[in-house]
Amino acid sequence: MITTTGCRIYVPKRFDEHKLATIANEIRVVAIFAIVVDEKYYGVSSATAMMQITPSSTSIVRIDGDDYYEFTFNKGAQITPNVNLVKDDTLVYQIYDEIIAKGHIPWYFNYLDVGCLFTSSDYHGGVSLGPTNIPLEMIAASISRSADDRTKYYRHVVETIDELESTPPAFIAFRNVIHGANNTTARLMGAYFDDGMTSSLVNPTERSEGVETLLRK
């Protein structure tokens, strides 16, 4: 793969701490990155496989408060020596744990990108996550919240597709008990009891959920 104009690829620096990147003589990163062209436009890759890249230079930049690797490719440079990616069935879980479970969403992912993160997991990662993408889209909808109030689901504050750019969401960790659990019982029975207790006191629920009614019987 050759770049005819020059480009830059960005991945979170955290990736090299969680087996999603190897920065050494040979650079390998999970193919979930932003590729920027002409300093104006960028596209998003969401392949759940490792890719070897051969940048002209490498640096660390800070974007939205987080450190990112910036891989620069000069005009006519080779991006990767091989576009045939090797399947690794353990990589999908590592991606899920870092991005979804822990809520470390890269700056280049929008609401739709999060929902489509694992659509190619069978082809690229060798792991089928179900016959449809609906469960993963439900998870994406669950962790996407209003930037002004993280107790409100993002899908409840936008009305049109155009608002995805003008009013982007905030993201929470899927295992976040403070904002993720929506009733007192779930907050107190799960992990992180102190956080769950604080959340229950600060944001008390206004009605009983079905599971709470069942447990009281």
Contact 49, 63 (CB under 8 A): no
Rounded Cα gap, residues 26 and 28, in angstroms: 6
The structural domains of the chain, with segments of one domain joined by +, span 7-171, 177-212
Q: Which helix (H) or strand (E) holds 195?
A: helix 193-202
Model pTM score: 0.81
Residue 92's pLDDT band (cuts 50, 70, 90)? very high
Residue 118 gets the label, from left (phi > 0), alpha (psi -120 to 50) or beta, of: alpha
pLDDT in tens, 17-76: 989 999 999 999 999 999 999 877 899 999 999 999 999 999 999 999 999 999 999 999
Please, what's the b/e burial string for 5-17 (b: 16 or more CB within 10 A of its CB; e: otherwise)?
A: ebbbbbbbbbbbe
Q: Spell out the residues 6+ positions from residue 193 whose beta carbon is closer than 8 angstroms to its own.
A: none
Neighbours of 24 (CB within 10 A): 7
pLDDT in tens, 172-217: 888 766 665 565 555 556 555 455 455 554 566 666 666 556 656 6
Q: Which residue, chain included where needed, has tokens 């690829």?
A: 9
DSSP 49: E
Rounded Cα gap, residues 131 and 90, in angstroms: 20
